[in-house]
Amino acid sequence: MPNNNSRRQDHFVAALEDTPIAPIDKLDESQKARSTWADAWDAMRRRPMFWIASSLILLIIVVVLFPTLFTQVSPTVCHLADSNGSPTGGHPLGFTRQGCDVFSRVIHGAQASVTVGVVTMVLVTLFGGTIGALAGYYGGWLDAIVSRVGDIFFALPLVLGAIVLMQVLPARTAVSVALVLALFAWPQIARIMRGAVLSARNTDYVTASIALGVSKFKVLVRHVIPNSIAPVIVIATVSLGVYIVAEATLSFLGLGLPTNVMSWGNDISQARTSIKTSPQVLLYPSAALSITVLAFLMMGDVVRDALDPESRARR
Amino acid sequence: MSQLATETRAENVSGEEQPLLQVRDLEVGFETQRGVVSAVRGVDLTLYAGQTLAIVGESGSGKTTTAQSIIDLLPRNGKVTAGQILFEGRDLTTLPPAAIEDVRGRLIGYVPQDPMSNLNPVWSIGFQVEEAIKANNVAQGKEARLRTIQVLKDAGLSDAADRLKQYPHQFSGGMRQRVLIGIGLSAKPKLLIADEPTSALDVTVQRQILDHLATLTRDYGTSVLFITHDLGLAAERAEQLVVMYKGKVVESGPSQEILANPQHPYTQRLVSAAPSLASRRIQSAKHADADDPQIYAGGSTDDTLIARAAEREQAAPAKALISVENVTKMYKIRQQGFRSEKLLAVNDVSFGVQKGTTTALVGESGSGKSTVAKLILQLESITSGRIEFDGQNVAGLKGAELLKFRRRVQPVFQDPYGTLDPQYNVGNTIAEPLLAHKVGTKKERQARVLELLDQVSMPSATRFRYPGELSGGQRQRIAVARALALKPDVLVLDEAVSALDVLVQGQVLNLLTELQTELDLTYLFITHDLAVVRLIADNVCVMQRGRIVEAASTDEVFDNPKEQYTQELLAAIPGGDFEFGR
């Protein structure tokens, strides 16, 4: 048997000076008030990738809006004498097979590509987001129909569906290409929004707001959607790159923008014919496309990390 | 304050028997974006073979971190920065990972807190127990299977052999906790660390499991290190007690001695706020000394304040403000195919709530108490029966009438982390009901928000803060402020203080009592915690499986429970009979 005397432990009391006690549950006012969005901004700001991605995106936006800042050479004035010519003074990237200035075409081509991407993204987010939110929030038959219709579109590959539809479309403009892409791309966002809304709908603060007398629709707009929007923002940012690629693919196949519209997809398509003799003509529009897509993908990545509730929890 | 205690402790170390576990000057830090945050700051504790020691403290006091550092289970960003953890004379902090792995499980078992998330849902129970047995080299091959059955039987699952192939979702919370205890004890370890092993369970289940754990550890000669926030549990189950506060030990020693005669001001505070069956109803201080700071300093609640009961009785009107008559709620649960099963969540329930009083609905999980709250709040429709509020039948109210009803009956929910929209700052949250009911101008609403913040004792600057920056108790106070914004008559409090630490809980209960007197509020208080009921309720309805089994005044139910179920509930409260020193 153990000796009971040796295992007896004394009543120890710490000195009050070593363990001062604070008032119960007092608000810590030492730090500034912060919203979740401010927190997300804080998290993003610290990442070099955010700054790389955002400066690239900023550069792309400037190129789209003010192409003449970067080049005075007209992309459409071409001399066959310069066909596949090497870089010379004033023409840093050389000439295409038609004798057009490659640098100028890359700069001016940004407009169509980025426009299609952005318009598609906006359409998809608005339409898919709204449909998904309503379906998830109200449920019932609306949800059943939306989910099944979404499934049908989901089963069609984006590009394949677009190819078929673009063939029957009378006018091919940036907006019509965007519309067609959006038609096949909305179910993705709708699904994500629906899932997020489903989980937000069952939270106590939603029940509390309803019990407080806020109308059901207002609860959706004020509480459910703001709390479900984060994953949608992430996917929308990432998808922007996908849409730009889809437009390029369609244009490459001759089904996107008409050949007289300058776009990276068209230029890549045309450069294909001279890939053996002058690969640089293909390289530059492709590089521009890749960098643009990469910029948005990186941005999406940073945004996801910042909005991820796991990494957002503050301790 | 006894200053000499530190010196006498040193002598004990040189005594004849070596302690099983000795933690010396332990310091643990967490690496965060804001630099290293120290969570444990110089903790000492000693545990001899066969003893039971409880670490108590509020959330964030470092009690779990201390336990985790013993078996090297700290989160990735946590590190022992100083001190020693001597287990059978070996310093665990200096052991290589492989050696720790050998100690963990085989010599030191661990029972985690949440039975719902600590079993892997894709593996069968048998597989998971067997895995532990094989990993700790208790037995291999066929013998391991036999041992698995034995372990589960020992843990109190009598039909263990038939249940091996079942999955966690087929087990109730109590059964899962038994499995976890079985895993923790499978190697008959010398020390078992149990981190809040029963705080997620109902009291009657808790009692069974703790009894069983006590029997097992006595048989195996295992020492137990309990981590708990429940002082009653510590008084009843542990010989030694360590009280932690902000990463430091404020008081330690024989548990009953400490709890009967707490010395450190923090322990005194904690003990006096601990609800127990011996407590009495909190009385409002407004009648005596309205600005008494003691009220918000917590503690000293029930005995220093002036009784108001007689006054209340005189003022009580004859007619009930809320009357629930023969209310039944049936849910249809979809089964496979087109079949559906009926579930009687609330079965022929009748009770009344008088104006200005608090009625508590008490019951274990699945008793239907929260459903009753939802029915009264008109968040669910009743299947049959009648609910009257202020003489009006409220079942099936629509449109403007419903809005009017909502104005007068407001809810406060359980989960302080879910009840406030994280995207809204506090000011907007409190103003929301005012906006929804189009009350006042923007300026008037702002003024009202300030007034409400003051009523729940929060500084006015809180209105710019977001819920993420507030503690659980603070959020719950904001939820109360929001509920009060429209000057309602009734608050339905669904487990409103259950998730809070004892001190914070006491503070919120005090606040609720203050507000009740000040604003003549009526409370319907839904809870599983009988000790809290004693502090706040005038009348109690005990619910079991959708029925009210006993309804009477609080004193009657506690002093003279008529139904067996009520008696069982009361008996199951840990440390219910213990006389806390106050």
Q: Is B408 on the interface with A (CB under 8 A)?
A: no
* Shortest alpha-carbon distance between residue A225 and chain B (Å): 10
CA A280 – CA A276 distance, rounded (Å): 10
Q: Encoding tokens for residue B399?
A: 């449109």
* Tens digit of each residue's pLDDT (9 = 90 or more) over B152-204: 888 888 788 888 888 888 888 888 888 998 898 888 899 999 988 887 778 88
CA A181 – CA A179 distance, rounded (Å): 5
| pLDDT band of B492, cuts 50, 70, 90 | very high
| pLDDT band of A54, cuts 50, 70, 90 | very high
* Shortest alpha-carbon distance between residue A42 and chain B (Å): 11
Q: Encoding tokens for residue A167?
A: 């063939």
Q: Which residues contact A176 (CB under 8 A, 6 or more apart)?
A: A169
Residue A252 vs residue A49, higher pLDDT: A49
Handedness of CA A164, A165, A168, A174 (dihedral sign): negative
Q: Cβ B250–A211 below 8 Å, yes or no? A: no
Looking at B149-153, B322-326, B396-400, which range is the least confident one? B396-400
Mean of all residue pLDDT scores within chain B: 83
CA B433 – CA A212 distance, rounded (Å): 6
pLDDT at B73 over 90: no
CA A157 – CA A185 distance, rounded (Å): 9
Measured between beta carbons, the chain B residues lying within 8 angstroms of A13 are: 1-2, 5, 250-251, 263-264
Q: Where are the beta strands (DSSP E) in B99-258?
A: 108-111, 191-195, 223-228, 240-245, 248-254
What number of other Cβ atoms are within 10 A of residue A311's Cβ?
A: 11
- Chain A (16-35) residues lying within 8 Å, Cβ to Cβ, of chain B: 16, 18-19, 21-25, 27-29, 31, 33-35
CA B392 – CA B405 distance, rounded (Å): 10
CA A109 – CA A75 distance, rounded (Å): 9
Q: Cβ A25–B245 below 8 Å, yes or no? A: no
CB B99 within 8 A of CB B54: no
Q: Cβ A9–B265 below 8 Å, yes or no? A: no
Domain architecture of chain A: domains with CATH: 115-315 (1.10.3720.10)
- The 3-state DSSP class for residue B374 equals helix
Q: Which residues contact A134 (CB under 8 A, 6 or more apart)?
A: A142, A146
Comparing C-alpha atoms, which of B51, B41, B39, B43 is closest to residue B24?
Answer: B43
CA B21 – CA B19 distance, rounded (Å): 5
- Eight-state DSSP code of residue B336: S
Burial B475-507 (b: 16+ CB within 10 A, else e): bbbbbbbbbbbbebbbbbbbbbbbbbbbbbbbb
User: Could you tell me which chain B residue has the CA closest to the CA of A210?
Assistant: B379
| pLDDT band of A119, cuts 50, 70, 90 | very high
CB B410 within 8 A of CB B486: yes
Whole-number pLDDT of residue B337: 66
Mean of all residue pLDDT scores within chain A: 82
* Tens digit of each residue's pLDDT (9 = 90 or more) over B235-247: 888 999 999 998 9
Q: Cβ B507–A14 below 8 Å, yes or no? A: no
Whole-number pLDDT of residue B9: 41
Residue B328 vs residue B304, higher pLDDT: B328
CB B488 within 8 A of CB B410: yes
Nearest to A23 among B16, B297, B482 (CB): B297
Whole-number pLDDT of residue A6: 61
* Shortest alpha-carbon distance between residue B392 and chain A (Å): 18
The owner of tokens 């993204």 is A121
Q: Which residues contact B574 (CB under 8 A, 6 or more apart)?
A: B203, B206, B207, B210, B230, B232, B233, B235, B236, B237
Comparing C-alpha atoms, which of B368, B370, B364, B321 is closest to residue B494?
Answer: B370
Measured between beta carbons, the chain B residues lying within 8 angstroms of A210 are: 379
pLDDT at A64 over 80: yes
Question: Which of A10, A219, A233, A314 best tests the B interface by mutation, with the highest count of B CBs <10 A?
Answer: A10
For B23, B100, B155, the CA distances from B27, given in Å and listed in that order, are 10, 19, 35
CA B78 – CA B97 distance, rounded (Å): 15
pLDDT at B479 over 60: yes
Residue B46 vs residue B198, higher pLDDT: B46
Q: Cβ B12–A6 below 8 Å, yes or no? A: yes
pLDDT at B532 over 90: no
- The 3-state DSSP class for residue A74 equals coil
Whole-number pLDDT of residue A314: 39
* Tens digit of each residue's pLDDT (9 = 90 or more) over B380-435: 888 999 999 988 888 878 888 888 888 899 888 877 778 888 888 899 999 998 98
pLDDT at B542 over 90: yes
CB B459 within 8 A of CB B478: no
pLDDT at B501 over 50: yes
| pLDDT band of B456, cuts 50, 70, 90 | confident
Q: Is B36 on the interface with A (CB under 8 A)?
A: no
| pLDDT band of B278, cuts 50, 70, 90 | low
Burial B167-185 (b: 16+ CB within 10 A, else e): bbeebebbbbbbbbbbbbb
Handedness of CA B130, B135, B136, B141 (dihedral sign): positive
| pLDDT band of B460, cuts 50, 70, 90 | confident
Q: Which residues contact B100 (CB under 8 A, 6 or more apart)?
A: B71, B72, B92
Whole-number pLDDT of residue B308: 46
Percent of chain A with pLDDT over 90: 16
| Helix residue ranges, H only, A3-101 | 4-7, 36-45, 48-65
Handedness of CA B130, B133, B136, B138 (dihedral sign): negative
What single string gives the DSSP state of each residue in B257-320?
Answer: HHHHS--SHHHHHHHHH---TT------STTT-TT-GGGTT-S--TTTSPP-HHHHHHH--SSE
Measured between beta carbons, the chain B residues lying within 8 angstroms of A7 are: 15, 17, 19, 48, 51
| Helix residue ranges, H only, B329-471 | 369-376, 399-408, 426-436, 442-455
- Eight-state DSSP code of residue A20: P
Q: Cβ B253–A226 below 8 Å, yes or no? A: no
- The 3-state DSSP class for residue B443 equals helix
Question: Region B62-69: what's the mean pLDDT?
Answer: 90
pLDDT at B317 over 60: no
Measured between beta carbons, the chain A residues lying within 8 angstroms of B471 are: 25
Highest mean pLDDT among A25-34, B270-279, B553-562: B553-562
Q: Is B371 on the interface with A (CB under 8 A)?
A: no
Nearest to B406 among A28, A31, A213 (CB): A213
Looking at A91-100, A186-195, B26-35, B462-471, which range is the least confident one? A91-100
Burial B282-296 (b: 16+ CB within 10 A, else e): bbbbbeeeeeeeebb
Q: Cβ A13–B1 below 8 Å, yes or no? A: yes
Whole-number pLDDT of residue B530: 84
CA B88 – CA B191 distance, rounded (Å): 11
CB B542 within 8 A of CB B550: yes
In angstroms, how far apart are the furthest CA atoms of chain B? Answer: 79
- The 3-state DSSP class for residue A107 equals helix
Residue B59 vs residue B296, higher pLDDT: B59
CA B559 – CA B538 distance, rounded (Å): 14
Q: Encoding tokens for residue A284?
A: 């530059």
* Tens digit of each residue's pLDDT (9 = 90 or more) over B91-102: 998 888 888 888
* Tens digit of each residue's pLDDT (9 = 90 or more) over A218-269: 999 989 998 888 888 888 888 888 888 888 888 888 888 887 788 888 888 8
Question: Which of A205, A229, A307 best tests the B interface by mutation, with the highest count of B CBs <10 A?
Answer: A205
Q: Is B123 on the interface with A (CB under 8 A)?
A: no
Percent of chain B with pLDDT over 90: 21
Q: Cβ B264–A13 below 8 Å, yes or no? A: yes
Q: Is A39 on the interface with B (CB under 8 A)?
A: yes
Q: Dihedrals φ, ψ of B402, to 5°?
A: -65, -40
